[in-house]
Chain A
Amino acid sequence: MTDSFADLPIRPRSLIVGLWIRRAVMTALALVVLLALVNRFGQRPVHSITRSPAATMRLTAPDTVRGGLFFQSLVEIRAAQAIEHPRLVLDDGWLEGMQFNSIEPAPVGEASRDGRVVLSYDALDRGDVLRIWMQFEVNPTNVGRRSYALALDDAERPVARIARDITVLP
């Protein structure tokens, strides 16, 4: 009867190759975890700030998100001068493929300007602070990079602008 173990090599070459492949795969997986830890896959909020003689505007929102995630965008406006008709102008990345769950305080008016959404608020006196909380959920099919720019206008007159992008990972 043939010995079924006789043909088996003690240390086959495939075993050594396989070991190195496993190590390479584990290194790649470790790299994925490392990138996640340093926030390359999104979710953590990033602060952007812009100052003009009339106002300081601060935007706190993640710049990278993933499908299905809930996230918050917080806009804070500190008026250095009176702004009679404060209007926030949102670029397409704010709403394209995003589920807009809530906005507090709600704007007194909404409109469209050259395809962008305009939110109107009550007048701000010098030293007033307007904080707006917006809650979103990312549509899982909304993959890509879009402009997440935000402008503050006094009626039609530009006051401050934050230029940002948002990346939705697959």
Chain B
Amino acid sequence: MDLVFRTAFVFLLILVVTRAVGRRELSSMEPFDMILLVVIGDLVQQGVTQSDYSLTGATTVIATLALLTVLTAWLSFRVRRLRPILEGEPIVLVTDGRILERSLHRQRMTVEELVAEARQQQISSLDDVRFAVLETNGTISFATK
């Protein structure tokens, strides 16, 4: 019983943390972020299973995580109002070649990073961009003129 509650708490905590950290940080993994992720995973495991080495405990935790994942996806699918909370919303960064500094600033993203993303998609100048959108998964979509 405690296992289910601890798993649910950690699931919600991770959901809140990932939403608070921001999508850019999570989509662009530097070596430091990768190591931090492993450390967080280890700490989470200790908090959830504690001293439990049993298959029963592992099965309970995995089942709870699977149910919560499906429940979150279902809620996001069925309840439109929850979608921005659970998944976030796409953020427009460039419109008609004009950089929306405020949006970039909110995502702690520099113009250089945006330009680098554009170069990776074979776009030589932001003047050619009609829309650049930071998607909910952290990637940037470009629509050229």
Contact = CB atoms under 8 A, between A and B. Distances in A.
B81 to A, nearest CB: 25
Contacts, number: 63
B60 interface: yes
Contact of B51 (A26, A42, A70): A70
Nearest to A44: B1
Interface stretch (B9-17, B35-43, B63-71, B98-106): B63-71
Nearest to A35: B60
Contacts of A42: 56
B64 A33 contact: yes
B52 interface: yes
By size class, the interface of chain B is 10 to 19
A119 to B, nearest CB: 26
Given A33-B60, A36-B1, A69 B67 contact: no
Contacts of B51: 68-70, 137
Nearest to B61: A36
A37 B1 contact: yes
A121 interface: no
A50 B55 CA distance: 34
A61 B66 CA distance: 31
By size class, the interface of chain A is 20 to 34
A140 interface: yes
B54 A140 contact: yes
A32 interface: yes
Given A29-B67, A36-B63, 4 more contacts: A33-B63, A36-B1, A66-B56, A170-B54
20 contacts: A26-B67, A29-B62, A29-B66, A29-B67, A32-B60, A33-B63, A36-B1, A36-B4, A36-B60, A38-B1, A41-B56, A41-B60, A42-B56, A67-B54, A68-B51, A68-B53, A68-B57, A69-B54, A140-B54, A170-B54
